[in-house]
C-alpha cells in the first residue's frame, strides 16, 4: 500500500513512493495499486505513467474501511533515554491502531529533545505495513503541565508507580493511591469512550505532577503487579484500551 495525502488533487505519488513503486516493486503501466490518504480512505488506482520520480495514476475505486475499534485511544508517554525503545513503541502502537500519541516532557525526563520527523516516518511506515487507512496523530513534545491542563477525554488515566511508603509524609498523601489500591486499567476504561493514558519516564512522575494530574480529573490506574519499562507500559496500555473497544 502507498501513502499519498493529497492523491485526489495530484493523482501523483511522491518521489519516495514513486521510487518504491516503480524501481523497487517494478510496477508497470496499467498495474493496479492501493493508496491511502491516511485519513480514512483507501483508493484502488491504476498506474498511467510509471515514472520513478512522479508516478501518475487514475483512481478507479474508493473504499471507506470501518474503524478498527470504538472510542479513541490516546497514549501520552515520556520519551525514553534510549530512543530505539520509544521508536519501537510508536511502531507497535501504530500497528495495533492507536489514534494519537503525545510525547511528554516531565520533571524526571532524561530525554528532552525528539526527532519528530523520524518518529513520523516510522509511524507512516508501520501504518502502511499494517494496511491502516487512518494514521495516528503524532503531537510535538509537550510539557506535562500544558498537557494535563488542556487534555480532553472521557476517561483520563495516569499510570504512576508511587507506593504507600513513598507517599508517607507528603502533604498531599490523601490524594495518592498506592499501587496496591489502584484500580486496574481495564476497570477504568469504558467502551466507546475517548481515553488518555499517561505513562511517565524511567524515574516516574514527580509528586507534584501526580497532584496536578489529579486536580485535572486524571485517575490513577494500575498496569498490573509487574514493574514495566516505559515503552512496555505504553504498549500495554494501548493494547488494553484497544482490546476493550474491539
Confidence check: pLDDT of 51 > 70: yes
pLDDT digit string (tens) for 76-96? Answer: 999 999 999 999 999 999 999
Q: Please spell the DSSP secondary structure of 146-193, one letter per residue.
A: HHHHH---SEEEEE----HHHHTT-TTGGG---GGGSEEHHHHPPTT-
Closest CA to 91 of 134, 117, 65, 130: 130
Clarify whether residues 98 and 20 are in a common domain.
no
Number of domains within the chain: 2
Specify the CATH number for the domain of residue 43: 2.40.240.20
Query: For residues 201 and 110, is the Cβ–Cβ distance under 8 A?
Result: yes
Clarify whether residues 48 and 155 are in a common domain.
no
Residue 184: count other Cβ atoms within 10 Å of its Cβ: 12
Interatomic CA distance for residues 84 and 91, integer angstroms = 11
Clarify whether residues 144 and 199 are in a common domain.
yes
Confidence check: pLDDT of 175 > 60: no
pLDDT digit string (tens) for 105-155? Answer: 999 998 989 999 999 999 999 999 999 999 999 999 999 999 999 999 999
Clarify whether residues 13 and 77 are in a common domain.
no
Range of the domain at 216: 72-244
**Domain boundary at 42, 63, 84, which?**
63
Interatomic CA distance for residues 160 and 155, integer angstroms = 16
Specify the CATH number for the domain of residue 215: 3.40.1280.10
**Domain boundary at 14, 46, 63, which?**
63
Clarify whether residues 114 and 187 are in a common domain.
yes
Interatomic CA distance for residues 203 and 81, integer angstroms = 11
Cell of 124: 507512516
pTM of the shown model: 0.91
Amino acid at each position: 500500500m502507498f501513502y499519498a495525502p493529497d492523491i485526489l488533487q495530484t493523482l501523483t505519488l511522491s518521489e519516495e513512493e514513486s521510487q518504491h513503486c516503480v524501481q523497487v516493486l517494478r510496477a508497470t503501466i496499467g498495474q493496479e495499486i492501493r493508496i491511502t490518504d491516511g485519513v480514512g480512505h483507501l483508493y484502488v488506482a491504476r498506474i498511467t505513467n510509471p515514472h520513478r520520480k512522479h508516478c501518475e495514476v487514475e483512481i478507479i475505486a474508493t473504499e471507506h474501511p470501518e474503524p478498527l475499534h470504538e472510542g479513541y485511544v490516546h497514549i501520552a508517554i515520556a520519551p525514553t533515554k534510549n530512543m530505539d525503545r520509544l521508536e519501537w513503541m510508536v511502531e507497535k502502537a501504530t500497528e495495533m491502531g492507536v489514534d494519537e500519541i503525545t510525547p511528554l516532557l516531565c520533571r524526571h525526563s532524561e530525554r528532552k529533545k525528539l526527532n519528530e520527523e523520524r518518529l513520523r516516518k516510522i509511524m507512516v511506515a508501520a501504518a502502511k505495513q499494517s494496511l491502516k487507512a487512518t494514521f495516528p496523530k503524532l503531537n510535538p513534545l509537550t510539557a506535562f503541565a500544558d498537557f494535563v491542563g488542556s487534555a480532553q477525554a472521557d476517561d483520563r488515566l495516569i499510570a504512576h508507580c508511587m507506593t504507600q511508603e513513598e507517599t508517607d509524609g507528603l502533604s498531599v498523601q490523601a490524594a495518592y493511591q498506592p499501587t496496591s489500591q489502584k484500580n486496574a486499567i481495564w476497570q477504568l476504561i469504558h467502551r466507546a469512550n475517548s481515553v488518555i493514558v499517561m505513562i511517565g519516564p524511567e524515574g516516574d512522575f514527580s509528586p507534584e505532577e501526580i497532584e496536578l494530574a489529579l486536580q485535572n480529573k486524571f485517575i490513577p490506574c494500575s498496569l498490573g503487579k509487574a514493574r514495566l519499562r516505559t515503552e512496555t507500559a505504553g504498549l500495554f496500555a494501548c493494547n488494553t484500551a484497544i482490546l476493550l473497544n474491539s
